Structure 1
């Protein structure tokens, strides 16, 4: 209910984060804001239960619960794994498939904490067809919200200032006199 009241607000207070993921699988995670309420997440993880390394690329849609610092997200993407395990009959093929994700995150200052449920469905390979994973991610906010937009605007201001200096188009105190444009 509160989320709908703030649905027009940004759902993240960051542009780029990076950190660790701990849970049924462990690894590193990074998120970048692509649009107003959309992020892309890349997870590189290894399992404590299986002998494999997995790379997952996800697109996530965020919705604020109370504010842009506390929100719910859900999304999906693809995963690709490399398996070093084998059974007695035949080696296990490297997994490839679809991953879904749903969770909640909270950002305070430069710390982003999230909990999620992430089922992975193997279309090819893997020890099982479906893995269910949960995890807590601790990320550092490398760039706060609108960092890239602020940098672009600053470059534009500096460029305009330099153009004015070169053209000597400063403020015309003698506005009654026309400038010679030739």
Structure 2
């Protein structure tokens, strides 16, 4: 009986999720820290993505607007680029090794982000994989550039 339920669940999961073009993707983003990515495709060429991730025992929230284009003339592959912004909060920089905050206070930054990436969405299974570079500049709080944010993201792709 368990096998029947498992098989039925896998079939439903595959039918609902499998698509070369997905509407909503939810998954994990892995870079120097770890986080959550939620991406909503408004059209085939436009999407918005929200990223919540942790680094140096702090938290960063990013929102991005992205433009997509086909890549390699192959189904499932897309380039994307975009802009957005972020808000980050870190506490106790000296104790946790944050290279920008060497004090024992809470620190907040607000800034602008860019993104350039490549993604692939499997047709057979509900999975979207992406690799991107997301440079950022802090405008309020610590003022400086973050050029090291290269991340791999795996998302469950929902039609």
TM (normalized to structure 1)? 0.65
Matched residue count: 129
Is 1:70 aligned with 2:86?
A: no
Alignment partner, residue 60 of structure 1: 66
Residues 93 and 124 in structure 1, CA contact (< 8 A), matched pair in contact too: no
User: Which one has more relative contact order, counting CA pairs under 8 Å at least 6 apart?
Assistant: 2
Residues 46 and 68 in structure 2, CA contact (< 8 A), matched pair in contact too: yes
TM (normalized to structure 2)? 0.74
Residues 92 and 125 in structure 1, CA contact (< 8 A), matched pair in contact too: no
CA distance in 2, matches of 1:113, 1:72: 12
Is 1:25 aligned with 2:40?
A: no
Bigger Rg, which one: 1
Matches for 1:75-86 after TM superposition, within 5 Å: 75-86=82-93
In angstroms, what is the RMSD of aligned CA positions?
Answer: 1.8
Extract unaligned runs of 5+ from structure 1: 1-11, 145-182
Change (3 A) 1:56 1:68: farther
Matches for 1:15-164 after TM superposition, within 5 Å: 15-47=23-55, 50-65=56-71, 66-87=73-94, 91=105, 93-108=107-122, 109-126=125-142, 129-131=144-146, 132-142=148-158, 144=159
Extract unaligned runs of 5+ from structure 2: 1-19, 95-101
CA distance in 1, matches of 2:37, 2:119: 14
1:125 CA drift (Å) = 1.5
CA distance in 1, matches of 2:103, 2:133: 33
Q: Which runs of 4+ in 1 moved over 6 A?
A: none
1:92 CA drift (Å) = 5.4
